Each structure stands twice: as C-alpha cells, then as structure tokens.
Structure 1
Amino acid sequence: MEKEIYIIRHCEAVGQPYEANLTKRGLHQANHLADFYSKIKIDQIISSPFLRAIQSIEPTSNEKKIDIVLDDRLSERMLSSIDLPDWLDKLEATFEDMELKFDGGESSQEATNRAISVIDEIIKSEKKSTIVVTHGNLMSLILKQFNEEFGFENWKKLSNPDIYLLKFKNNEFDCERLWQDC
C-alpha cells in the first residue's frame, strides 16, 4: 500500500516555549494550510503537543472533521537545558555528529529515533494519508533520515510553515517539498 506522509513545520509563532501562540501572520498561515489541504484526502493528523503546532493544524482538522492526535515524540528537540550563546554553531555541529549532546539536551540521533518511530508506525498502519505536525529541527532530522544530504543548510532554509511529502511504496520512498511561502 502506498503511503503519503505530509510533514509540516508549524506556522509562525511568538516564541519557542511549549505554550507559545501563533502570531497574527501564523494564524493566517494556518488558514492557508487548511486551504492547501482542502482537496487532499487525509486519514489522520498527528501533532506535537506544543501549542503552536496544534494551532497550525486546527483549521485543517476542523475543516476535515479529523481529530488531532497528540504525540510527545513530535515535540521540539531540546538542544540543551542551559543557555547556549553560540547555539547556532552548536546546532550545526549536531548535524555533523549525530551523537553530540549538550547539557540536559538530546542528541540528533535520539531525536531522530523518537520521530522515526512515529513514521514507522504510520507506515505499518492501515492509514494511507497522514499529516504530521512538528518543529523545524525535528522535521530536518526526519528528512535527513530519508536523504542523508539534508542538513543544517536545508534546516536554515525551512519556512514557517513548511511542508514536505514523503511517499512510500514497495519499501521505496520519495521526498518532495510542497510549500510555497505566502
């Protein structure tokens, strides 16, 4: 059975905390996502429990009358529990060394493993078409799993929101960017 997995990076938000809301522009983007999906058949929606991820997909959920399933494995990756003034350099290093880990943080490999466990469950399920809503770093790590050349520079080019489609058929996959920023 062919599977389509739409991986979405959340819309523009006011910040990084768990409870950060979407901006006014982000709310507009969420409605634009609903328009984007209006003619696409979707069987399920799985989202990070972070508020900005939920708010990003609520209009689509409401229009499609599909409940949003929250999954902690799609949560934002924590690079470190301490403030890292050079966090961007540190993040780049974690794309090169997947096992690199900072104080109280999660390695790229650990984050990849939890995210890919969601993707694996989707592939094994009876659902054909799934929306997965997550965060930029985790989205990049998922995509890197299917295209090892997807790296830090690709992460920097992601928009809020962004959409990539992973298609699986006969144990092969194809990955394509779908979103055109509005």
Structure 2
Amino acid sequence: MKTFYIVRHCQADGQSKDAALTPQGITQSHELAQFFSSIHLNQIISSPYKRAIQTTEPLAHAKQLEIKIDQRLSERVLSSKPIDDWYEKLKLSFTDLHMTCEGGESSQEAMNRIVEALHEQIKLEKDHTLFVTHGNIMSLLLKHADSTIGFEEWKKLSNPDVYTLRYFKPNHVEIERIWHK
C-alpha cells in the first residue's frame, strides 16, 4: 500500500499566482503542521503558487523536509479572460471534461497533468508524499480516482483541506478526507 496526502492550500488573499496567505491562512498553516506532526512523510511537493508554498512552510520546517516545486500542481486555468458565467462553466467542466474556455485548460488536460505527477511518484517507489495544490485541480485528481466526484464535492472543499489516496494495487484506490475542521 502507498499513501499520498493531497492538501488544498490555506486561506489566501486572492487567486493570482502571487496571492499570499491571509493572517488566518498563516494560522491555518501552523495548524496543518501540527495536524501532520505524528504522520510520517518522505517528501513534500508543492504547486509553485505562493499560497501553496506558504501553506507547507511550517510543516516542511518541522519535518526538516525540502519543499519540491512541481508546475503540474498549479491551479487549473478555466479561462485566460474574465467570464461572467464562470461558475456555470466550472460546473459544466466536471461533466464535460473536454470543454474549454478561451485560453483555458479543459478538466481532462488538468487532470492528466496532476495524475502524471502522482504516477511519477508511484513509479519511483515514493510513498508518504504530501502534495500541496489548489481546489479545482485537487478535485480533478480525486475525480480520477473516483469518477463520482464532481462539482458538488469541489464546492464542499475547505481551505485548507486534506485527503489521503491509498493505493493497494493498480486498480484499487481508497480516498479519505482526513481534515475535519
């Protein structure tokens, strides 16, 4: 069995790549470090976004682990331009995985890249890896493991949020939400 921890970043002050954690988000990052204090981790891999890195800094410091950056954990871009009905488009993207908006990435494309990052760790025989990412891309990774996961599950995600993916054999994956705040 291989265990992977999928973490959604703590509360941030925006959606840009440079958006930092809010004061509450900083407090949450320390709570997250405490939450993982008795859990063995081999490595931490993070999205390059500032809020994701800040989310894991207290944990990395406590565990004396380097934060590895992986672009594939970046948040999905729904569109490169503002769209008035973004919420409806996002909802549709969970059922039509190939739908794209102008300058955006389809759910399938985003899912493929985060699954590739996970499978790379599985092939390298890496275990007890913590991935720090974002809500939409995280929900797409969970959807890959369980096709019933969709828009409603995305709406229920919190900042932060933590799920485990446990791989028992190639086609048997168990998902569990372990963050209950």
1:176 aligned counterpart, secondary structure: strand
Runs of at least 5 residues in structure 2 that lack an aligned partner in the other structure: none
- Cα deviation, residue 173, structure 1: 1.2
Q: Equivalent residues in 2 for 1:107-146 (5 A)?
A: 107-146=106-145
1:154 aligned counterpart, secondary structure: helix
Q: In the alignment, what sits opposite 2:48?
A: 49
2:39 aligned counterpart, secondary structure: coil
- Counterparts of 2:94 and 2:147 in 1: how far apart (Å)? 10
- Counterparts of 1:73 and 1:126 in 2: how far apart (Å)? 19
- Cα deviation, residue 109, structure 1: 0.3
Q: In the alignment, what sits opposite 2:6?
A: 7
- Cα deviation, residue 85, structure 1: 1.1
Given residue 40 of structure 1, which amino acid in structure 2 is its aligned partner?
A: I
1:180 and 2:175 matched = no
Q: In the alignment, what sits opposite 1:58?
A: 57
Q: In the alignment, what sits opposite 1:103?
A: 102
Given residue 59 of structure 1, which amino acid in structure 2 is its aligned partner?
A: P
- Counterparts of 1:89 and 1:42 in 2: how far apart (Å)? 38
- Cα deviation, residue 128, structure 1: 1.8
Given residue 176 of structure 1, which amino acid in structure 2 is its aligned partner?
A: E
CA deviation map 1:99-155 (0-9, x unaligned)? 000000000000000000001011112322000000000000000001111000100
1:21 aligned counterpart, secondary structure: coil
1:35 aligned counterpart, secondary structure: helix
- Counterparts of 1:34 and 1:109 in 2: how far apart (Å)? 32
TM-score w.r.t. the length of structure 2 is 0.98
Aligned residues: 180
Q: Equivalent residues in 2 for 1:13-92 (5 A)?
A: 13-92=12-91
- Counterparts of 1:128 and 1:86 in 2: how far apart (Å)? 40
Runs of at least 5 residues in structure 1 that lack an aligned partner in the other structure: none
- Counterparts of 2:69 and 2:127 in 1: how far apart (Å)? 19
2:94 aligned counterpart, secondary structure: helix
- Cα deviation, residue 170, structure 1: 2.4
- Counterparts of 1:111 and 1:34 in 2: how far apart (Å)? 28
1:81 aligned counterpart, secondary structure: coil
- Counterparts of 1:44 and 1:126 in 2: how far apart (Å)? 12
Q: Which runs of 4+ in 1 moved over 4 A?
A: none
Bigger shift: residues 169-178 or 89-98 = 169-178
Given residue 164 of structure 2, which amino acid in structure 1 is its aligned partner?
A: L
- Counterparts of 1:57 and 1:157 in 2: how far apart (Å)? 22
Bigger shift: residues 7-16 or 164-173 = 164-173
